């Protein structure tokens, strides 16, 4: 027996189904505002990264624990046997926004201290007050670019996805030159799986192993 189908009815149903599938595949995750740039999303709570620090020919490896603390973040770098390398906190709403709770003596070199503070400010987008802010679309990648000139911490630029906000590249500039670059990649809905920060003779590589 042959069953006749109503093509006029099937086509609208098929169109609605395809649109629903497309929307579900690209729907914005809860806690993330459309087109707002982020490295750690609003729904991020904590993550554990395998960490490798290379500085001036010396290597240090271990685990970096990242945790949201209300309006801020805590970054604790430990060796695999539990020796604490550093413990720092950043909070946008405190007058003293960057706090060093502890730092291994070998890491108390001014270039390293500045590198850590700038890296964590960039990852959490804690620029402080800014003098100037503007944005544009990058012709090559189609990403949106935002540039911020802060009052106290220099000039920052970051490239991010125009629809979902994941930041793919962050730069920190000195007066004439690019001083520090961070490349986050492999995002899920909360955080990047890989973060590589580097400047001249310093590199900090983070690979997520647990969330």
Q: Is residue 5 in a domain? A: no
pLDDT of 23 above 80: no
| Domain range for 165 | 46-210
- Residue 35 within any structural domain of the chain: no
Total domains in the chain come to 1
Q: Which residues contact 144 (CB under 8 A, 6 or more apart)?
A: 35, 37, 135, 136, 137, 138, 159, 160, 161, 162
pLDDT digits (tens, 9 = 90+) for 98-131: 999 999 999 999 999 999 999 999 999 887 777 7
What pLDDT score does 94 carry?
Answer: 64
CATH for 67: 2.50.20.10
Residue 177 in domain: yes
Please give the pLDDT value at position 12.
Answer: 43
Which whole number is the average pLDDT over 185-194?
95
Asked whether residue 164 is domain-assigned, the answer is yes
């Amino acid at each position: 027996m042959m069953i006749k189908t109503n093509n006029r009815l099937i086509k609208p149903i098929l169109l609605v189904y395809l649109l629903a599938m497309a929307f579900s595949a690209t729907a914005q995750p809860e806690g993330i505002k459309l087109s707002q740039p982020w490295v750690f999303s609003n729904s991020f709570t904590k993550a554990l990264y395998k960490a490798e620090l290379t500085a001036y020919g010396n290597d240090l490896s271990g685990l970096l624990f990242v945790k949201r603390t209300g309006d801020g973040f805590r970054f604790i770098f430990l060796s695999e046997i539990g020796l604490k390398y550093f413990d720092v906190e950043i909070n946008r709403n405190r007058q003293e926004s960057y706090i060093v709770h502890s730092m291994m003596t070998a890491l108390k070199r001014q270039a390293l201290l500045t590198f850590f503070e700038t890296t964590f400010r960039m990852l959490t987008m804690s620029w402080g007050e800014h003098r100037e802010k503007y944005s544009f679309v990058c012709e090559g990648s189609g990403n949106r670019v935002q540039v911020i000139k802060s009052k106290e911490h220099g000039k920052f630029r970051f490239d991010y996805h125009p629809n979902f906000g994941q930041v793919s590249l962050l730069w920190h500039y000195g007066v004439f030159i690019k001083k520090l670059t961070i490349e986050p990649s492999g995002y899920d809905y909360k955080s990047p799986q890989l973060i590589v920060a580097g400047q001249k003779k310093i590199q900090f590589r983070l690979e997520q192993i647990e969330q």
